């Protein structure tokens, strides 16, 4: 059993993947909580998908993926802003039109004969190919995200709670939105190499969404989210090693299982709570009857 647990970790490939996932988990567990609480999960997904043409373009031209992704993000964000100005369309329609167009364009490019084989790698990432450069990048980015979120914590909390009156408290919701969007775009870029264009969203949103189901305060929510990201990463890597599954997909599956488990725990808790309430209400009304009889 111990050998079963230790053997994968002695593989340098697995150890590096685990280090990368642990750092990405720190980012997604904290930043993801603000994205989930702001109800921006859909935007996060859109943002990630909008950079596909950029990624494929970079692969075509032999440029670093991060550069192509950054250009793709900028183009996607500008298009969304532009289409969002069409008054008849709601912003969600604008986003979905732009994203599906860009994603389709990316797939077309990716399937062109001139493109080096590797659309799969771009869509699903190549977790086991992660090198020290990627790990260093993730570590640096995690430090930046944690520092910024620490400093802005109270402002983000106050603005998220009472957006309408945030300006009366001296905070600009638009500015904080921009900070979160930039941090999210950066996280997508940093994580895309390991997790790919499709799976990166699961890592960014999944742990925070699961943690929201289990916690009632922002601090614990972040800690639980990071813990879920870490446990799912470990579980995914073990499954990948022992059952010879694709690593990124196995981690994503583990995140989905974690979400399902969180949902189940929450439902059970609510069931228990309503049961206790019913019982105590029953006891109260019995008490009332007793008192009224005495009166």
Partner 1 sequence: MQDRALSCEPLVRSNRLAARYPGASVPAISSITFAVEAGQRVALLGPNGGGKSTLFRVITGELAPSSGELELGVGHSALVPQSERSRLDYPVSALDVALMGSVSRLPWWRRPSRADRALASESLRRVGLEDEANTTFGELSGGQRQRVLVARALVQDSPLLLLDEPFAGIDAPSAELLAALFDQLAAEGRGLLMATHDIEQARSWDLVLCCNRVQIAFGDPAQVLTREVIERTYGSSLVPLPGDESLAITPPHHHHHFEADR
- What residues make contact with partner 1 under the rule CB under 8 A? 37, 150-155, 157-158, 160-162, 164-165, 167-171, 212, 215-218, 221
**69 CB-contact burial (10 Å; exposed 0-12 / middle 13-18 / buried 19+):** buried
Dist. CA 228–CA 211, nearest whole Å: 8
**Least distance to partner 1 from the beta carbon of 57, Å?**
37
Q: Both tokens of residue 47?
A: 């943002």
CA distance 137 to 190: 7
Q: Which is nearer to partner 1, 62 or 150 (CB)?
A: 150
- What is the rounded CA–CA span in Å between residue 289 and residue 164? 46
Alpha-carbon distance 104 to 107, whole Å?
Answer: 5
One-character DSSP codes across 34-88: HHHHTT-HHHHHHHHHHTHHHHHHHHHHT--HHHHHHHHHHHHHHHHHHHTT-TT
Which tokens go with 168? Answer: 């009366």
The secondary structure of 166-203 as a DSSP string is TGGGT--HHHHHHHHHHHHHHHHHHHHHHHHHHHHHHH
Nearer of residues 78 and 172 to partner 1, judged by Cβ? 172
Nearer to partner 1, 226 or 247 (CB): 226
Token code pair at residue 101: 């167009």
Would you say 157 or 283 has its CB closer to partner 1? Answer: 157
Report in angstroms how near the CB of residue 145 gets to partner 1 at its nearest.
Answer: 16
> What's the min distance (Å) between Cβ of 147 and partner 1?
11
Q: Which is nearer to partner 1, 140 or 220 (CB)?
A: 220
Rounded to whole angstroms, what are the CA distances from 222 to 36, 48, 288?
11, 22, 44
**Residue with Cβ nearer partner 1 (136 or 151):** 151
> To the nearest whole angstrom, how small is the minimum distance from the Cβ of residue 173 to partner 1?
11
- CB of 231 vs partner 1, minimal distance in Å: 21
Smallest gap from residue 267 Cβ to partner 1 (A): 17
For partner 1, the closer CB: 277 or 286: 277
Give the nearest distance from C-beta 6 to partner 1 in angstroms. 38
């Amino acid at each position: 059993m111990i050998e079963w647990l230790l053997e994968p970790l002695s593989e340098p490939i697995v150890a590096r993947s685990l280090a990368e996932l642990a750092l990405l988990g720190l980012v997604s567990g904290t930043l993801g909580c603000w994205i989930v609480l702001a109800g921006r999960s859909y935007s996060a997904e859109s943002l990630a998908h909008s950079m596909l043409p950029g990624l494929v373009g970079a692969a075509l031209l032999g440029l670093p993926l991060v550069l192509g992704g950054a250009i793709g993000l900028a183009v996607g964000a500008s298009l969304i802003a532009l289409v969002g100005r069409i008054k008849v369309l709601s912003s969600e329609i604008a986003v979905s039109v732009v994203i599906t167009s860009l994603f389709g364009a990316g797939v077309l490019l990716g399937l062109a004969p001139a493109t080096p084989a590797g659309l799969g790698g771009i869509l699903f990432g190549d977790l086991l190919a992660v090198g020290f450069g990627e790990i260093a990048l993730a570590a640096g980015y995690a430090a930046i995200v944690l520092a910024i979120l620490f400093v802005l914590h109270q402002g983000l909390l106050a603005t998220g709670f009472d957006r309408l009156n945030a300006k009366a408290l001296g905070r600009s919701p638009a500015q904080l939105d921009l900070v979160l969007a930039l941090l999210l775009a950066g996280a997508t870029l940093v994580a895309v190499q390991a997790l790919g264009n499709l799976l990166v969203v699961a890592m960014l949103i999944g742990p925070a969404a699961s943690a929201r189901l289990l916690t009632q305060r922002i601090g614990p929510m972040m800690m639980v989210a990071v813990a879920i990201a870490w446990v799912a990463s470990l579980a995914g890597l073990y499954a990948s090693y022992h059952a010879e599954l694709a690593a990124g997909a196995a981690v994503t599956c583990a995140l989905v299982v974690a979400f399902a488990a969180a949902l189940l725990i929450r439902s059970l808790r609510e069931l228990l709570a309503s049961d206790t309430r019913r019982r105590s209400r029953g006891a109260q009304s019995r008490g009332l009857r007793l008192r009224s009889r005495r009166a």
